[in-house]
């Protein structure tokens, strides 16, 4: 069994598997060279380019997983939402009622991601897992209502309070669409899928319990592959995360992994080295990674990862030090 999948199923391993979020990204000079020739939209919509980018970190580092190079906006575009990148996503703000009326994703719109997963699965080593992903309903709704990224998404929070029924219906619609999208990725060969709930942390405990958590749970319900749920800055509702029903929960660097594990219970955990550590020096990287491993204590179900995406200024050789430390 692939080490990542064994860890997600909480089977004993000699060491935790390792991959890092945004591992196929701007810290790699070869990625930057590709992007000089291919704008972002073209890169994620061309399976030739997306496959090459997905495989870049596997050629450099002995990682245990490849995560498909894609974007959480892709299925929204397949649902008829117009998205521009400058450089982040920009959309025409919608109302919760309009979101609830969005159609199912057009299969042709998600086919580039599906084909990329097929190609990556055919090219990676047998022990390397392929990870698919999607944005969680709450995070997607945050962009749809705001029209772009935001520090704290006031339109989302306003809608949760002033239009709870319409907002709930919008989350149900997005959950249905993202579950279908993830199911298609699994059908194409994804060994596991991760649900990114990047902005759930702006919500209160009650809002997570009433809306964000149930919509994430609906997205992951009965998927035929192990699932990971990652909501950074969610320490104030950490004890509520198990309601999502994921096999594994990603942790950011703000809470010790052993303390979080006690709260979460009998599940796998992923994390949680601060990405800023990779901007320091090899000795600091080794020492801090060893602390994370010590906190995990060799317990089955640990996937070593960063507490967020790798920083664009990270020297690639520093990631090599991290991989060697974990595998050593």
Residues with a catalytic annotation lie at: 22, 26, 35, 71, 143
Nearest Cα residue to 68 out of 49, 85, 84: 49
Containing 168, the helix (H) or strand (E) segment is helix 164-188
Rounded to 5 degrees, what angle do the CA atoms 180, 171, 272 make? 80
Question: From its phi and psi, is residue 230 left (phi > 0), alpha (psi between -120 and 50) or beta?
Answer: beta
* CB 289 within 8 Å of CB 322: yes
DSSP 259-321: HHHHHH-SSEEE--B-GGGGGS-HHHHHHHHHHHHHHHTT-TTEEB-BSSPPPTT--HHHHHH
Give SS3 for 7. Answer: helix
Q: What is the CA radius of gyration of the chain?
A: 19
Angle between helices 107-123 and 164-188 (to 10 degrees): 40
């Amino acid at each position: 069994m692939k080490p990542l999948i064994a860890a997600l199923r909480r089977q004993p391993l000699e060491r935790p598997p390792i991959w890092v979020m945004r591992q196929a990204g701007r810290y790699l000079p070869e990625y930057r060279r590709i992007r000089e020739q291919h704008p972002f939209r073209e890169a994620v919509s061309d399976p030739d380019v997306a496959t090459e980018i997905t495989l870049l970190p596997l050629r450099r580092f002995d990682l245990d997983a490849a995560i498909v190079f894609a974007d959480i906006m892709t299925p929204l575009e397949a649902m008829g939402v117009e998205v521009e990148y400058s450089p982040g996503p920009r959309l025409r703000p919608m109302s919760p009622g309009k979101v609830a009326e969005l159609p199912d994703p057009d299969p042709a719109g998600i086919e580039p991601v599906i084909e990329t997963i097929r190609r990556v699965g055919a090219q990676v080593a047998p022990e390397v897992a392929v990870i698919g992903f999607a944005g969680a309903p709450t995070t997607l709704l945050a962009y749809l209502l705001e029209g772009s990224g935001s520090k704290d998404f006031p339109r989302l929070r306003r809608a949760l309070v002033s239009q709870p029924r319409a907002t709930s219906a919008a989350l149900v619609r997005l959950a249905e669409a993202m579950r279908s999208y993830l199911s298609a990725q699994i059908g194409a060969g994804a060994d596991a899928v991760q649900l990114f709930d990047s902005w759930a942390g702006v919500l209160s405990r009650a809002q997570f319990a009433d809306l964000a958590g149930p919509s994430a749970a609906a997205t992951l319900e009965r998927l035929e592959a192990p699932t990971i749920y990652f909501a950074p800055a969610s320490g104030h509702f950490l004890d509520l995360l198990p309601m999502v029903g994921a096999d594994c929960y990603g942790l950011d660097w703000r809470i010790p992994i052993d303390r979080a594990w006690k709260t979460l219970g009998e599940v796998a955990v992923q994390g949680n080295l601060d990405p800023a550590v990779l901007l320091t020096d090899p000795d600091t990287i080794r020492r801090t990674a060893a602390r994370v491993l010590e906190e995990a204590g060799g317990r089955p179900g640990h996937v070593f990862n960063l507490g967020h995406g790798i920083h664009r200024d990270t020297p690639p050789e520093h990631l090599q030090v991290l991989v060697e430390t974990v595998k050593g």
